[in-house]
A and B are shown apart, each in its own frame.
Chain A
């Protein structure tokens, strides 16, 4: 029997709120429902385990930062850098999110149904079995996948035109997959476009299905859509810049 604990966040500062969430997990909660969230930061910061935290309202900055295991579902928007330096687990945001989403993320998944701000997926990195995944349903802004060192970043553009420019500046690992075509002028130095092979598609399809299921829509149009894949032009973007004394 799953144990659910409900917390009212109204008027509660972020440190106290996070303490209440930690207490709830310590009490063995499988699901923590947090109501009336109004910009409290650091929800799920550094949490371990496999509980689910349902946030109702607008989550503040650094949602699920350093998180290792749990699932955080936000029924609303999230501010600056959800999934920052996240280790594992999952963040599902039903609204939009601010800048630096999934900053330095090293594992787990961040799904955003709406739009994200600037520098989405900046410096995501991977190691062995840890491979972070960021999927954006709407659009992303400039400097998408900047300094990206690993992982998978998908932007679906479900709500219209994709606004990202300077995509993948300094990218030296991982891959960015954008539904539809991406104009060459939107790519930054260090990034290049390659065709999405059948093998690539097979790799992203399970992610697309999971995303569609989480937000309750039909995955088939996404599974069969055309995609542009953006990868590093070089694994050593700065190698040619230096000489030794």
Chain B
């Protein structure tokens, strides 16, 4: 490149092989879809520049001969001009373009969840032993009536007069969040659908339509309607157990998305209902919603199309004025609101959005719950927290801050083997997750992967049961919004006030 003097960047990763251990079996060559390894005679050659740290080679090396180091080349250390900032400048000086990146935020900001401590009972109240006493996690998502009316029948029996709106029943407050077929593979979708069925929860389709392979699990699927309306028709709407209107995404609030033509394979094109190889562009807004007064019209149009039989969710990104946004959406007639924090995942997002736009889910869920209660709307919608729910403690804390349930997505992918390497956009995922290349997709056995996802949810559910028992809480309703069971550790007074949580020691 004669018109650029920047040359090659320092290696991001260095891959080495312990030649004493290596038996030249070639599994690394076969497994690496990025082309790091090459067999040359009886020696395996390495091109570290292609490495993404996906760990596929390390996982499949029978002799533990492969080692990987990140940033093997030091820059002059500098607290302001860090490596990432400098490399972005080199990239943009070379290309003049917006930098896209895979997966969620890498900004090194404090995680509020990690600074919230959970409570447990000691001498004043006894803990509950979940082995002996039931701890109820079953959750209903959707509108709850503000009051119940009853009428007496002629024979004296009493029956409910209030008409109830449809709810989704989940056995554990963990749902599998929306990732589209196209962004991830059919086998990944199948694995999540089967896991959802096994553990009694639901999975989201994302905005890529519903592949016929998922029809057997449609009662466990929440179908999504996004601004591109890909794969959306009346049949799709009626297959889902619920319908989610995607208004925003935590990884890239305020902008749309597009699946590049390379990923629109024959099967993906069928499901999205667009020609093979064409870009699938989702505009930033829904172009039939240009103001908050238009949202009720979209909500009602979907309810009309499905005979008012299905709960309608809306997903928004967590940004400034989150409480007002949530209250506005709650008045639009939706049954549940998913709020996606700024650490939410994505197949691809502009780096500048991923790392700089939005607010954390912990704050968003707490302010949403507080505002809805203030306005007397809390019973009108369920709240789903999403955007970097990493472990069972995060689920507990999100619920104690006011959520009804959580969406997990990156965690579910990790349960299938994903190493969060962030190269989803390359479409070469060696784990068969974020790819449409059939030989790679075939690596992910949906039976095996669904068991792993189900195991993860089961394990978290057990941990939540134990944590609740330890806190003397026997039903999830008693944990919801129960900020008294949280204490802030090294959080400032302003943030504690926003969260409505007391500091440790109080």
Contacts and interface: CB of A to CB of B under 8 A. Distances in A.
A130 to B, nearest CB: 7
A125 B274 contact: yes
A119 interface: yes
Interface string A183-200: 000000000000000000
- Secondary structure call for the B interface: mixed
Contact of A172 (B88, B281, B294, B351): B281
Given A41-B297, A46-B237, A106 B95 contact: no
A66 B234 contact: yes
A46 B279 CA distance: 27
Interface in B218-254: 228-229, 232-235, 237
A66 B98 CA distance: 36
B75 interface: no
A245 B91 contact: yes
B92 interface: yes
Nearest to A106: B273
A58 interface: no
Nearest to B298: A62
Given A46-B306, A245-B101, A62 B237 contact: no
B463 to A, nearest CB: 34
Interface stretch (A4-12, A156-164, A233-241): A233-241
A166 interface: no
Nearest to B12: A245
Interface residues of B, number: 43
A150 B278 CA distance: 11
A43 to B, nearest CB: 9
Interface string A207-245: 000000000000000000000000000011111111111
B347 to A, nearest CB: 12
Given A106-B233, A236-B261, A45 B304 contact: yes
Contacts of A97: none
B287 A243 contact: no
B300 A41 contact: yes
B308 interface: yes
Given A42-B300, A87-B233, A149-B274, A235 B279 contact: yes
A71 interface: no
A103 B99 contact: no
Contacts of B422: 245
Given A42-B301, A65-B301, A236-B261, 14 more contacts: A14-B300, A18-B304, A41-B300, A46-B306, A65-B305, A68-B234, A80-B288, A103-B288, A104-B288, A123-B283, A125-B229, A147-B281, A243-B92, A245-B102
Interface of A: 14-15, 18, 41-42, 45-46, 48, 61-62, 65-68, 80-81, 84-85, 87, 100, 103-104, 106, 119, 122-123, 125-128, 130, 146-147, 149-150, 170, 172-173, 235-245
